[in-house]
Amino acid sequence: MQFEFLSAEADAHPLDLVDGDSLGNVREPALSWAKSNAFKAAEGKLLIVPGKDGAIESALFGHSDKPDAMLNLAALSKGLPDGDWRIEGELCDPTLAAIALRLGAYEFSRYRKESGRSIRFVAPENADIVRANRIADGICLARDLINTPTNDMGPEQLEAAARTLATAHGADVSVTAGEALLSEKLFMIHAVGRASAHAPRLIDIRWGPLSAPKVTLVGKGVCFDTGGLDIKPASGMLLMKKDMGGAANVLGLASMIMGAKLNVRLRVLIPAVENSISGNAFRPGDVLQSRKGISVEIGNTDAEGRLILADALALADEEEPALLIDMATLTGAARVALGPDLPPFYTDDEQFAAELEDAAARVFDPLWRMPLWQPYKSKLESRIADTNNVTTDGFAGSITAALFLQRFVEKAASWAHFDVYGWNPTAKPWSPVGGEAQCIHALEQVLSQRYRG
The amino acid that residue 1 corresponds to is M
CB 369 within 8 Å of CB 343: no
Tell me which DSSP letter residue 94 carries.
H
Choose the stretch contacting Mn ion; rule: CB under 5 A; options: 133-141, 266-274, 298-306, 337-345. Answer: 298-306
Instruction: For the segment 5-34, give every residue that binds ligand BES (CB under 6 A).
Output: none
The residue (of 329 and 448) whose beta carbon lies closer to Zn ion is: 329
Question: Alpha-carbon Rg of the chain, whole angstroms?
Answer: 24
CA pair distance 209, 359, nearest whole angstrom: 26
The amino acid that residue 352 corresponds to is F
CB of 347: closest distance to ligand BES in angstroms? 20
The residue from 120, 232, 377, 428 that is catalytic is 232
CA distances from 23 to 10, 42, 61, 126 (A): 27, 11, 11, 26
Instruction: For the segment 376-395, give every residue that binds ligand BES (CB under 6 A).
Output: 390
CB of 331: closest distance to ligand BES in angstroms? 4
The residue (of 66 and 283) whose beta carbon lies closer to Zn ion is: 283
The residue from 306, 335, 379, 407 that is catalytic is 306
Angle ∠(363,369,370) on CA atoms, nearest 5: 160
The residue (of 217 and 420) whose beta carbon lies closer to ligand BES is: 420
Site string for Zn ion, 287-326 (x = CB under 5 A): ------------------x---------------------
Q: Applying CB under 5 A, which of residues 18, 202, 222, 323 lies at the interface with Zn ion?
A: 222
Instruction: For the segment 197-236, give every residue that binds Mn ion (CB under 5 A).
Output: 225
Q: Which residue is nearest to Zn ion (CB)?
A: 225
The residue (of 96 and 218) whose beta carbon lies closer to ligand BES is: 218
Q: Check binding of 225 to Zn ion (CB under 5 A).
A: yes
The residue (of 243 and 419) whose beta carbon lies closer to Zn ion is: 243
Q: Check binding of 274 to Mn ion (CB under 5 A).
A: no
Number of residues this chain uses to bind ligand BES (CB under 6 A) = 16
Q: What is the number of other CB atoms lying within 10 angstroms of the CB of residue 292?
A: 21
Tell me which DSSP letter residue 232 carries.
P
Specify the DSSP element, H or E, that contains 434: strand 434-435
232 is catalytic: yes
Choose the stretch contacting ligand BES; rule: CB under 6 A; options: 69-77, 157-165, 200-208, 300-308. Answer: 300-308
CB of 37: closest distance to ligand BES in angstroms? 43
- Of 75, 76, 93, the residue nearest 131 (C-alpha): 93
CB of 368: closest distance to ligand BES in angstroms? 16
Q: Which residue is nearest to ligand BES (CB)?
A: 332
The residue (of 297 and 304) whose beta carbon lies closer to Mn ion is: 304
Specify the DSSP element, H or E, that contains 207: strand 201-207
DSSP, residue by residue, 104-136 = HT----TTS-----EEEEEPPTT--HHHHHHHH
User: What pairing do the DSSP bridges indicate for beta strands 434-435 and 415-419?
Assistant: unpaired
The amino acid that residue 103 corresponds to is L
CB 231 within 8 Å of CB 180: no
Q: Using omega within 30 degrees of 0 as the cis cutoff, is the peptide bond preceding 29 cis?
A: yes
CB of 402: closest distance to ligand BES in angstroms? 12
CA pair distance 339, 333, nearest whole angstrom: 9
Q: Applying CB under 6 A, which of residues 104, 124, 193, 305 lies at the interface with ligand BES?
A: 305
The residue (of 217 and 222) whose beta carbon lies closer to Zn ion is: 222
CA distances from 323 to 258, 348, 413 (A): 16, 12, 6
The residue (of 213 and 340) whose beta carbon lies closer to ligand BES is: 340
CB of 303: closest distance to Zn ion in angstroms? 8
Estimate the crossing angle of helix 245-259 against helix 129-147, to 10 degrees. Answer: 160
CA distances from 376 to 158, 299, 394 (A): 35, 17, 11
Taking the alpha carbons at both ends of the chain, their separation in whole angstroms is 33
Q: Applying CB under 5 A, which of residues 93, 297, 302, 436 lies at the interface with Mn ion?
A: 302
Choose the stretch contacting Zn ion; rule: CB under 5 A; options: 170-178, 187-195, 236-244, 374-382. Answer: 236-244
- Which residues are near Mn ion by CB under 5 A? 225, 302, 304
- Which residues are near ligand BES by CB under 6 A? 225, 243, 300, 302-305, 329-333, 335, 390, 397, 421
Q: Which residues are catalytic?
A: 232, 306
- Which residues are near Zn ion by CB under 5 A? 222, 225, 243, 305
